[in-house]
Structures are given as C-alpha cells and as structure tokens.
Chain A
C-alpha cells in the first residue's frame, strides 16, 4: 500500500487498487493520456480527467472537483493530482492545508485481475475491490474446475459443472445470469483451472465486455 501512484509508470495492462474509508475501486490508465499536470485515467469503468488548470481533485462519488469544492468538503476527496506531475496522491498529502487536514487517507496498491488460488499459502490474505466495494477472500479448498472459498464470510462454491460466477451480493450465479448484467459480476473461476479472474477477463466476451474490473490484492 502506498500514498501515491505515478500513472506515467503504469502500462495498459496494469491495475491499481484504491482504498479510502468511503470508496474502494480500481484504477487503470488510458493509453496516451498521461502528461505532467494533465492526466486521464479510468476508475471503475468511468473515465476521469484531472488537470492543474481545471479540476485536480476527485471526489468519493467519482466526480472531478476544483480546489474550492475540495476545500468545502475535504472529507469527500478521494484523491488529488499532484501539481505539475502525473502522480495521484492521497488527499492527506495535499499541500492545501484545508484539504489535507479534513480528508481521510487513501491508499494505492498494484493488484491483479487474475489470481491462482493454488499458488497461495495459508497465510496469504486476499482482498478484492469492485465498484466501491471491498472484501476479503479465504480459500477453503481448491481443485482444477472447483473452488470453495469464503467471500466476506459467505461460503461460496464455484465450479465448472455448476455456478462459476459470483455476483456483488455474494451469490453464486451461472453464465446466463452473468450475461444478463455483467456489471454485477465480481469474479469467476476460470474453466478447468484454480484461477479466479475478474469478470472483465473471462473468456465469455459478452460478459467480459460488459463487466467492470475487479482487482485482487494479496
């Protein structure tokens, strides 16, 4: 976990988990749109532009806001663009004293969109972020094509033969339901493997294209 992330150092395949008391999500860069003092990036499917000249703060409702609005409601500032840079920073590190003192801290961590459960040790703790929601995964048993896991305390069985997707209410769902609204899908068990994958990375393109990234962090 870090207090900042430099977008210029990310490539198109990278994903970053962002966590604040009021929001948890995933950030990725938009190719060719990162310059000092003016960055465009994507957070949970929403494209955001922050710049020194315009809005340099992002609210916890994912709206770019200017300094006056950030000072008005510092507790609702999720992150800020550091001046003349490509770095997104926690509002608690802002130079603006009103924002700095009134904000909650935000952390950034490089994550993954795919996770092989068989390669984890018993002591590994897995977290995930998905559109404002964060949770914890514990592995109970895993075999190729079958996984029993606890997701925020809910025992979930994913399998090739049964339901291989989980929705954001922690219910096991089958492909037809996942296709009906891919934005509700948290992640899936990759067929024939021991891997959990973000819904945006499943082989079913109808689901992958409509899904919002889930980021896994160990």
Chain B
C-alpha cells in the first residue's frame, strides 16, 4: 500500500511539474500539454485498476482493541456469491490505517476509541493488506 501511495504522489508531482513547465513556457504547443494530461490519466487508471484487483471484499463484524493497544478487525471474506463465508478472520490494523465510511463520508483514523469502534459493525468493506496487517479499509453499500 505504501508503494501505491508513493506512486500516486509521484504521479501528482509529475503532473504538477509538467503543468508548471507549461505555465512557464506559454508558447508550448497545445498538443504536448494534451499528451501529458493523457499520460497522467492513463497512469492513474492503471493505479486504480491495481487497487481494485488487490481489494479484498468482506463483511466486517467489528473492531476490538487488544491488550497491547492494537486494533483488530473481525471479518469474513465474501465468496463468489457475495456472501460472508469461511472462518472468522481477526486481522490487525496497521499503524495510521484510514477507514473511510462511505455512508456519511467520515474518515476514521487509527486513533479509534470505544465510541467510534462500532463504526464497522456488520458492514461490508473492501480492505487492502500490507504484509499481514490491514492498511486501508473502505466501507461500501451492498
């Protein structure tokens, strides 16, 4: 996930530099600017596809804090029919994980509390792993 974020950051910088260059050289042909925008667009599309392919869909049953302070998400991955199946998984959240809740648009950070921990109770989520830890969670409606 860090590589993905780094890649997105690089693309943004690249796009920024090219736009800046375009501003500095107003006589730059319009076709060159268009080409740059297309390149950036294609790269973003590739990243989006990569993210989609690596997203794991699951039903989340809720967060629980361990004695050492780390947070664990209880979930079951979805099968081909979109149903929660298999064993209950207990995956640890990586530090600084962000949880995006789509229903209200709020973003929960890893600074979870007893009051906010129920945000992912019985919700459908997409998640990404960084090693054996969850690096990002996105709630979706089903």
Contacts and interface: CB of A to CB of B under 8 A. Distances in A.
Interface string B42-66: 0000000000000000000111100
Interface in A132-158: 140-141, 148, 150, 153-157
Interface of A: 140-141, 148, 150, 153-157
B74 A140 contact: yes
Given A140-B61, A140-B74, A148-B74, A153 B88 contact: no
A155 B62 contact: yes
B87 A141 contact: yes
Given A140-B74, A148-B74, A150-B121, A155 B88 contact: no
A141 B121 contact: no
- Give the dominant DSSP class at A's interface: strand
Interface of B: 61-64, 74, 87-88, 90, 117-118, 121
24 contacts: A140-B61, A140-B74, A140-B88, A141-B87, A141-B88, A148-B74, A148-B88, A150-B61, A150-B62, A150-B121, A153-B62, A153-B118, A153-B121, A154-B62, A154-B64, A154-B117, A154-B118, A155-B61, A155-B62, A155-B63, A155-B64, A155-B74, A156-B64, A157-B64
A153 B74 CA distance: 12
Nearest to A141: B88
Nearest to A152: B118
Report which residue of A140, A153, A155, A157 has the largest number of chain B beta carbons within 10 angstroms of its beta carbon: A155
A193 to B, nearest CB: 19
A140 B60 CA distance: 11
A34 B117 CA distance: 47
B116 to A, nearest CB: 12
A78 B87 CA distance: 44
B54 to A, nearest CB: 26
A27 B117 CA distance: 34
Contacts of B118: 153-154
A95 to B, nearest CB: 44
Nearest to A142: B88
A148 B88 CA distance: 9
A140 B74 CA distance: 9
Contacts of B62: 150, 153-155
Given A140-B74, A148-B90, A153-B62, 10 more contacts: A141-B88, A150-B62, A150-B121, A153-B121, A155-B61, A155-B63, A155-B64, A155-B74, A156-B64, A157-B64
A148 to B, nearest CB: 6
A157 B63 CA distance: 11
A33 B87 CA distance: 51
A157 to B, nearest CB: 7
Report which residue of B61, B118, B121 has the largest number of chain A beta carbons within 10 angstroms of its beta carbon: B61
A140 B117 CA distance: 17
Contacts of B63: 155
